[in-house]
Amino acid sequence: MPIIARKRLVEFWQNHPEAEVLLGAWFAEARRAQWQKFADVKSSFKSVERVGERLIFNIGGNKFRLIALVDFQRRSVLIRFIGSHKQYDRIDAAKI
């Protein structure tokens, strides 16, 4: 699936080098994916959660959180947020 806003991932791992391998793996998996529904995402990423229209991915054993909008009809992923678990706790995932 095409991933929109990859730049957010790159900017994040430039400031948090320990996240580069983890986010790179997430990106590669999501890019190869052919998700048609939430259950397909769940089969790729067991710890993914849904909050409204957004999907919350736990990265690195919940060290990082990635929020994305997945448009199953258009087959695309828009990255809305990437941050530490602490940063995630300070936002409203349903509105970001």
* DSSP for 32-72, written as a single string: H----SHHHHHHH-TT-EEETTEEEEEETTTTEEEEEEEET
Cβ-contact 5, 12 below 8 angstroms = no
- Report the length, in residues, of the chain: 96
Whole-prediction pTM: 0.91
**Residue 85 to residue 44: CA distance in whole angstroms:** 21
Please write the tens of the pLDDT for every residue from 32-74. 999 999 999 999 999 999 998 899 999 998 899 999 999 999 9
- In this prediction, residue 94 carries a pLDDT of 86
